[in-house]
């Protein structure tokens, strides 16, 4: 059971208790890989937590980039949130249909924009439904709400910064992909990408941070997982994955541990695996 913290993670009990709070905003941030065979928007239309708005990770992104769902420019984030009625003074709770997967990416996006009153729903929509809690299929009534943001540049890293960190060893680079993809034994799902990992990175598969029911492990258990992967928690951390979605699960876990010096490599393997002049390690 999550120790409820409206800045990181809240339980289904907590959310149901606060469902009628006027300053609460709930976001359905479901997003699936093509091989998952699920349609996030259709599932949202069919059933969602009462009052939830749909946060489209692919659309609320920097579409000037050729890389998938890069973090949106602040002005785009502001315009989308304003139209969705998400603004200053709101407590935001983000969930997804997979349990705890893409919701962490949206939590990180809010953090990147300087908004800290945001939490992920532990166990997501699957747990909410399994417990027989209320759902609806009506879209919420939206009213514009003013929102101010302050982009926290230290929370995101680009390829040059990650290459420097890999060479200098002054950060821990944590890769959330599966062990097979990390070692290079498994092919990448995106065509044209090399296999392997960023030199000097450590594998912390995002699933190892979660319980079987899709909830996040306790802070003590998270610490044990991270330390078992050989991670030095004394160094600042950079997280990475296939395209910057599951990496944010590590950022959320680190925040739960009370570690605040962490950032996310937004281009992740979709970028690193594409350029032949960037070194790749295997095994």
Q: Is the pLDDT of residue 2 over 80?
A: no
Rounded CA-CA distance 16/26 in Å is 11
Is 65 considered catalytic here?
A: no
Q: Is the pLDDT of residue 1 over 70?
A: no
Confidence at residue 36, expressed as pLDDT on a 0 to 100 scale: 86
Summarize pLDDT for 238-255 with one digit per residue, the tens: 999 999 999 999 999 999
Reported as a pLDDT band with limits 50, 70 and 90, residue 106 is very high
* Paired tokens of 198: 């960023």
Between 191 and 247, the higher pLDDT residue = 247
Q: How much of the chain, in percent, has pLDDT values that exceed 70?
A: 99
Q: Quick one: DSSP state of residue 105?
A: H
Q: What are phi and psi of 172, to 5 degrees?
A: -95, 125
Tell me the average pLDDT across 159-178. 98
Domain locations in the chain? 9-151, 154-272
Burial pattern 239-266, b for ≥16 Cβ within 10 A else e, equals bbbbbbbbbbbbbbbbbbeebeebbbbb
Rounded CA-CA distance 242/250 in Å is 13
Rounded CA-CA distance 97/112 in Å is 23
Summarize pLDDT for 215-242 with one digit per residue, the tens: 999 999 999 999 999 999 999 999 999 9
Confidence at residue 189, expressed as pLDDT on a 0 to 100 scale: 86
Q: Please provide the DSSP assignment of 205-238 as one string.
A: -GGGGB-TTSPBPPHHHHHHHHHHTT--TTS-EE
Give the DSSP H or E segment for 264. strand 262-265
**Contact present, 120 and 107 (Cβ < 8 Å):** yes
Residue among 241, 249, 254, 270 flagged as catalytic: 241
- Threshold 0.95, pTM exceeds: yes
- Lowest mean pLDDT of 44-58, 83-97, 187-201, name the range: 187-201
CATH 3.30.70.141 assigned to 154-272: no
Secondary structure (3-state) at 166: helix
Q: Is the pLDDT of residue 35 over 60?
A: yes
Reported as a pLDDT band with limits 50, 70 and 90, residue 34 is confident
Average pLDDT score over the chain: 96
Q: Is the pLDDT of residue 31 over 70?
A: yes
Q: Is the pLDDT of residue 99 over 60?
A: yes
So what's the architecture of 9-151 in CATH?
3-Layer(aba) Sandwich (3.40)
One fold for 9-151 and 154-272: yes
């Amino acid at each position: 059971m999550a120790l409820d913290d409206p800045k990181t993670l809240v339980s289904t009990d907590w959310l149901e208790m606060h469902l009628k709070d006027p300053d609460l905003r709930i976001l359905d941030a479901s997003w699936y890989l093509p091989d998952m065979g699920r349609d996030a928007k259709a599932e949202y239309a069919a059933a969602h937590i009462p009052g939830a708005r749909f946060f489209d990770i692919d659309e609320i992104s920097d579409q000037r980039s050729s890389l998938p769902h890069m973090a949106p420019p602040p002005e785009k984030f502001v315009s989308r949130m304003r139209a969705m009625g998400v603004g200053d003074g709101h407590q935001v709770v983000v969930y997804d249909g997979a349990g705890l997967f893409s919701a962490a990416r949206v939590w990180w996006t809010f953090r990147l924009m300087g908004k800290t009153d945001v939490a992920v729903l532990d166990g997501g929509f699957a747990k909410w439904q399994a417990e027989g809690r209320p759902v609806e299929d009506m879209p919420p009534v939206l009213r514009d709400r003013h929102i101010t943001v302050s982009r926290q540049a230290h929370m995101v890293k680009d390829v040059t910064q990650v290459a420097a960190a890999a060479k200098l060893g002054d950060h821990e680079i944590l890769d959330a992909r599966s062990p097979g993809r990390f070692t290079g034994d498994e092919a990448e799902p995106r065509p044209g990408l090399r296999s392997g990992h960023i030199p000097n990175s450590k594998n912390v598969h995002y699933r190892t941070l979660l319980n079987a029911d899709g909830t996040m492990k306790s802070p003590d258990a998270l610490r044990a997982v991270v330390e078992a992967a050989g991670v030095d928690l004394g160094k600042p951390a950079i997280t990475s994955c296939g395209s910057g979605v599951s990496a944010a699960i590590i950022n959320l876990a680190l925040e739960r541990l009370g570690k605040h010096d962490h950032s996310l490599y937004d281009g992740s393997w979709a970028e690193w695996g594409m350029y032949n002049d960037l070194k790749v390690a295997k095994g």
